[in-house]
Amino acid sequence: MILKIDRCSKHDGPGLRTVVFLNGCPLRCQWCSTPESQCEKPQLLHIETLCVLCGRCVVSCPEKALQVIPGGIIIDRQRCTFCGKCLQVCLNHAMRASGTSMTLDQVFDIVNRSRPFWTRMAGGLTISGGEVLFQFEFSKALLQKCHRAGINTNIETSCCAPMENVRELLPYLDHVCCDVKHMDDATHKKLTGVSNRQIQENIRMISHEKDLILRYPIIPTCNDSEENIDATAAFIKTLGDKFNRIDLLAYHQMGAVTYRRLGREYALESVPTLSREKMKRVHDRMLAHGIRAVLA
């Protein structure tokens, strides 16, 4: 299941990347900007700004899961079986699916056609998500195919997976980008739904094997305390010589609208975005610990 493919990204690994975003993720980060990627199966999204309230979707639904109300469409997600009939009749593409089924060869063909970009600016494939390791067999097969074709490879991962799975991918990887959410295990569970112990073990292992870039999303009231920043710096000092840098990512609310389109509540609605000054203070604190940090 492929969420989308971006053929020209400068923010998903070294150089210019073609990014394959997969469906499915074991984490439920409260600040997730792509909640439509969390489920391994397609979900129905209603883009209210495109909807003309024609009612064609309501008439087409065999489960009677749709209802027109003043100003919008209500989706009964308990009744919806995702038959796709509303997608077929929607005049303005206001009904959309969060993901589509694609074969390995179909995805590789799109990636391979990006080669001309990389003659002008170094780059390659990045597999992102969702979570790369959630669709492990597909990710491994795509990395193998691209590696054998001489395409530079990278993954963006939470590292939430058995270590043996991570090790299986390493021979076909040139780079790894991995998120760090919070250093305290109990808080990590509260914020993401999973423990960070296996994640940290995997990061330590990778740091001795492959070029490793850590990505630290700075979320106000969640993981931006001086205590957690210092603990993150201390953790980095335990890593191997393949550690490259840590990118500091400022919190934003760009995913909030997608929660609404999925019929879900956004937990951090009242949390403000971070100022440049606050991000600089985090950056300066990392530098004071001797950590190579970059404001992304």
Read off the pLDDT band of 121 (50, 70, 90).
confident
Q: How far is the C-alpha of 31 from the C-alpha of 267, rounded, in Å?
A: 8
**b/e map of 115-153 (b: 16 or more CB within 10 Å)?**
eebbeeeebbbbbbbbbbbbbbebbbebbebbbeeebbb
pLDDT > 70 in the chain, percent: 100
Place of tokens 């990710």: 139
Q: Mean per-residue pLDDT for 27-38?
A: 94
Tell me: do 90 and 130 sit in the same domain: no
Question: What total of structural domains would you count in the chain?
Answer: 2
Tell me: do 29 and 133 sit in the same domain: yes
Contact predicate 180/232, CB 8 Å = yes
Residue 179 belongs to a domain with what CATH number? 3.20.20.70
Q: Which of 97, 114, 130 is the last residue of a domain?
A: 97
Burial of 231 (0-12, 13-18, 19+ CB in 10 A): middle
Q: What is the reported pTM?
A: 0.92
The alpha helices in 113-192, defined as continuous H runs, are 115-120, 136-148, 163-169, 185-192
Is residue 98's pLDDT more than 80? yes
Q: What is the domain range of residue 83?
A: 44-97
* Phi-psi label, residue 35: left if phi above 0, alpha if psi -120 to 50, beta otherwise: alpha
**Which segment of 58-67, 68-77, 133-142, 239-248 scores lowest on mean pLDDT?**
68-77
Tell me: do 290 and 185 sit in the same domain: yes
Place of tokens 């740091």: 207
Q: Mean per-residue pLDDT for 28-34?
A: 94
